[in-house]
Amino acid sequence: MANNRRRGHRFERFIRKILEEVFGCDVSTSRYASKKTDDAGIDFVIDCQENLEIQTKTLCIKTKGKTISLLPFLKLEKNNRIYIIRLTEKRTKRFITTADVVIMDLELFKKHFKP
């Protein structure tokens, strides 16, 4: 269990660096910024972006031959939330990263990522 927690924290630090490069401003984890945002499932607070929620997850999508769906983990009614998900598979005793995926509403994408 401690390894899973450590893996999740490492993934959050990795994503934090990427978000700082993309948005060009300070990004802090919600654990540091506010307990209220952390309780709401928001993982990052971006100082230069208002009303943008970013949540990260590390999910094992295939264990013992069973495939897991992503839909139960997504709150699709929130159109201002960006999901950054690391998909892994369990092979023997190790977890192998298969993909890093970003899921967001198309209108939100158009609003924040104009050329």
Across the chain, mean pLDDT equals: 77
List, for residues 39-84, the tens digit of each pLDDT value.
Answer: 777 888 777 776 678 888 887 776 666 666 666 666 666 677 888 8
Confidence of residue 104 (pLDDT cuts 50, 70, 90): confident
Q: Which residue has the tokens 């060009």?
A: 24
Q: Cβ-count burial of 94 within 10 angstroms (0-12 exposed, 13-18 middle, 19+ buried)?
A: exposed
Q: Please tell me the pTM assigned to this model.
A: 0.76
In this structure, the number of other CB atoms found within 10 A of the CB of residue 2 comes to 6
Distinct helix (H) and strand (E) counts, the chain: 4, 6
Count the Cβ atoms, other than its own, within 10 Å of residue 111. 12
DSSP state, residue 84: E
